[in-house]
Amino acid sequence: MKNRAVFLDRDGTINYDSGYIGDPGKVELLDGVKKGIYKLKNDYHFKIVVISNQAGVARGIITEDNVRAVNSRINDLLGEESSVDRFYYCLYHPEHSDPEDVKCRKPSPKMIFDACRDLEIDINTSYLVGDRHSDIECAQNAGLKSILLTSDVYRDEINILHQAGISANFVAENFLEATDFIINDFSGGNS
């Protein structure tokens, strides 16, 4: 039997987005994230998979070791029962990298497809939560239901999606609201 998953963007979805985060000591989880992930993992048996663009590496602002250290710190803060099962990240940016390398960058669904293969995930019973238009486009490109979290740049993100003719399946004020949507939808409570 295949696994189901909730794919999460990292910065702005799990933790506060203060720019290119390279210092694990500055990682701060968003409200409700630990509780929401715990519920999804332990009560509903979703795999938790992070897919994240980390172009700060291509830009020379942070290193891949910084990305790994921040990911490790996130799991430390989440604790064993709420930890992320796997982190996938794309270190590249079109302005600083070869076109072949950039193929992993969201809105490409490559990281999702890689995770589905690696973790035996059924894409049809999986979801994506993110705070940017590239997350929602990535979900659509992969055939996933998507949840857009509101943020400081929410209006800009909605406008970009609207212009592209794309919309999220649900817009959530916070992570716990996104969690409730996933649980209700998965359990047959939403149409």
Instruction: Spell out the residues 6+ positions from residue 46 whose beta carbon is closer than 8 angstroms to its own.
Output: 3, 4, 5, 6, 40, 126, 182
Question: Alpha-carbon distance 171 to 5, whole Å?
Answer: 19
Check if 9 is active-site. Answer: yes
Question: Alpha-carbon distance 74 to 14, whole Å?
Answer: 8
What b/e readout covers 109-124, taking b as 16+ CB neighbours within 10 angstroms?
Answer: bbbbeebbeeeebebe
* Parallel/antiparallel/unpaired status of strands 4-8 and 127-130: parallel
Q: Among all chains, which residue has been given the structure tokens 């960058």?
A: 105
Check if 76 is active-site. Answer: no
Q: How far is CA 113 from the centre of its chain?
A: 14
Question: Alpha-carbon distance 123 to 143, whole Å?
Answer: 7
By annotation, the residues acting in catalysis are 9, 11
